[in-house]
Structure 1
Amino acid sequence: MSVTAPENVRRVACVGTGVIGGGWTAHFLARGYDVTAWDPASDAGERVRRIVASAWPALEQLGLADGASPDRLTITATLADAVADAQFVQESAPEELTLKRELLADLDAATADDVVIASSTSGYPMTDMQTHAARPQRLVVGHPFNPPYLIPLVEVVGGELTDRWAVEWASAFYMAVGKSVITMDREVPGFIANRLQEALWREALHMVAEGEATVADIDASITEGPGLRWAFMGPCLTFALAGGEGGMAHMLDQFGPSLTLPLTRLEAPELDDALRAAMIDGCADAAGDRHYAQLVAERDQGVIDVLRATGRLPQPRKA
């Protein structure tokens, strides 16, 4: 088996072109790749081109690779056509386990056996998804964050039947396309970042359900509080600083007893009609007159500004 080196990949296939798959498509195009895309939806071609067009202004600010162009996108009529010449496959189908199992098996059958196939799943372990594939050793999780063309992080992990070379290859490839990669040693449901997000999300739902805080209160508590620190320093190191010169040891000695206090409710609340309505109405109030495209543009520009402010993206050149 002759595997293409990660840095020599030139053609990528994106299977599934919704929000995540479309974001991946935009990212790979911006990095100068030829991209073939397939999705069973009848409007998939139009949809993914809209996603790419919406993302392109932000990608221009991030810096395009030589030869990068939306014109290097090809929409194919079949899954087999999409992966026929692909040197890497990114699967981004809906989060349905049966669908994932069948699609990954189909991708495995249609793709050359030296090509790594990565799933964008946000929660399923690869062990649970690779059960129907004839060659599961090259199947990995490459879990991105929305939007994939803008947020650097990708979590990479294999399943019980995945060969280590495939995990290492995928990690090297994602780094070659400008991603910040966490290569996990073992499977954890929800991976790392999603588990942390989920804890915050569940507590937010509890507070709305109990009338303890509004959607606007919760969002402001992060954007005006710890979120400012988390943009460049994670929660563990942030807490270590809370211990002063004594660091994490002093912080744990001082605040460790508070771990016994009822400060969180990690069990998810029942998502009944009232809570669902409160969340929907609260987000609508927060959005105000801004439509979806405006909010996407604001989010993208905000992330770019943070990346620049924290030195992870060069400042724009002055004319």
Structure 2
Amino acid sequence: MTERAISKVAVIGTGVIGASWVSNFLAQGLSVGATDPADGAEARLRAAVDAHWPALTEIGLAPGADRGRLTFHPTPEAAAEGVDLVQENGPERVATKRTLFAALDEAAPADAIVATSTSTIMVSEFQDACTRHPERVVLAHPFNPPHLIPLVEVGGGSATAPEVVARAIEFYRAIGKHPIHLKREARGHVSNRLQIALWKEAFHIVQSGIASVEDVDAAIAHGPGLRWALLGPFLNIHLSGGPGGIRGLLEGPLGAATTGMFGELGQPTMDQALIDQLSEGVAEELAAHDVEAMIETRNRLLVELVRDKAAARVLP
């Protein structure tokens, strides 16, 4: 695959994730061709970009950033014509991915990267539908919302060329993202697997009567979540270990206690009773709050946090 600068991208599917990607790419000075089969998709997309733009302006627009560089196309094939990279955000169904990627493989230039935002499906499950250039299909899974959160998980399938993965990592880093490299495929990738492990124990704690929905949320939001927003689990363990660091902590009494708790973590039953319990608990937690105001405040604080973290060179 010939390397070339990425200046024109296609975004396939413009729901919550796709619209956020469109905004991100436009804010980085790229030209974007988007498509979505839903009725009214173009109007909703343009409204979403307008809504995202103030936060992106506060973060900092790249030279050439212009909402006018967005075009909307009737089909994925039309959107992918002449682009340097495709960012696919279709439904989480393997059959849909296979049909879509077969079409994109035919339509996109041979040297274009074709990336998927899939949260749970592995690239190897649909990559072989690309009969022309399966080697240029990569995973590029963002964390919601992509226009605010830097993480992108990048990896390949069984037929992906390593140099394409490297090129994708370079591209996402160049547009201000923080890419991580998946050395091999795993369902749910990295961030979702870690997140679901936490969800699993949170569900168990509520289902077994240890604590309420509201208190579980508080336990994370007002405790370890504050540290996790700055440093990951291993560095936090290391800093908790004092002079001995992570080795001293894991080789000492706390390491043995941690191992003991591994076997005590719960196995919640995802039945209707639990779903009702969680839904009712969230409703009680939100009863005294304006949800729209909460989302607006969350996004504003995310912008401030991401900006401050970027300025704090001492953090990894």
Is there any run of 5+ residues in structure 1 with no aligned partner, and where?
A: 315-319
Q: Specify the alignment match of 1:240 in structure 2.
A: 238
Paired residue secondary structure (1:32):
coil
Distance change >3 Å, CA 87–CA 292, structure 1 → 2: farther
Q: Displacement, 1:292? A: 5.5
Q: Specify the alignment match of 1:294 in structure 2.
A: 293
Q: Specify the alignment match of 1:257 in structure 2.
A: 256
Distance change >3 Å, CA 57–CA 313, structure 1 → 2: farther
Paired residue secondary structure (1:310):
helix
- Amino acid corresponding to residue 49 of structure 1 in structure 2: R
Q: Specify the alignment match of 2:83 in structure 1.
A: 86
Q: Specify the alignment match of 1:207 in structure 2.
A: 205
Q: Displacement, 1:254? A: 2.1
**Aligned partners of 2:204, 2:306: CA distance in 1, in Å?**
32
Map 1:44-63; keep pairs closer than 5 Å: 44-63=41-60
How many residue pairs match? The answer is 309
CA contact (8 A) 1:307 1:313 kept: no
**Aligned partners of 2:89, 2:14: CA distance in 1, in Å?**
7
Map 1:65-84; keep pairs closer than 5 Å: 65-84=62-81
CA contact (8 A) 1:154 1:182 kept: yes
Q: Displacement, 1:32? A: 1.1
The reply on whether 1:185 has 2:183 as its aligned counterpart is yes
The reply on whether 1:109 has 2:110 as its aligned counterpart is no
**Aligned partners of 1:257, 1:116: CA distance in 2, in Å?**
46
Q: Displacement, 1:61? A: 1.0
Q: Specify the alignment match of 1:168 in structure 2.
A: 166
**Aligned partners of 2:284, 2:53: CA distance in 1, in Å?**
28
CA contact (8 A) 2:59 2:307 kept: no
CA RMSD of aligned residues (A): 1.9
Paired residue secondary structure (1:182):
strand
Q: Specify the alignment match of 1:31 in structure 2.
A: 28
**Aligned partners of 2:264, 2:307: CA distance in 1, in Å?**
35
Q: Specify the alignment match of 1:41 in structure 2.
A: 38
**Aligned partners of 1:202, 1:44: CA distance in 2, in Å?**
35
Normalized against structure 2, the TM-score is what?
0.92
Show CA shifts across 1:246-293 (max 9, x none): 11122012212221234422x4x3322222222223333333465654
Identity of aligned residues (%): 41
- Amino acid corresponding to residue 14 of structure 2 in structure 1: T
Paired residue secondary structure (2:50):
helix
Paired residue secondary structure (1:155):
strand
Paired residue secondary structure (1:131):
helix
Q: Displacement, 1:69? A: 2.2
Map 1:142-153; keep pairs closer than 5 Å: 142-153=140-151
**Aligned partners of 2:21, 2:101: CA distance in 1, in Å?**
18
**Aligned partners of 1:78, 1:310: CA distance in 2, in Å?**
39
Q: Specify the alignment match of 1:281 in structure 2.
A: 280
Q: Displacement, 1:296? A: 3.0
Show CA shifts across 1:98-132 (max 9, x none): 11122111111111111000000112111112121
CA contact (8 A) 1:22 1:52 kept: yes
- Amino acid corresponding to residue 25 of structure 2 in structure 1: F
**Aligned partners of 1:17, 1:278: CA distance in 2, in Å?**
32
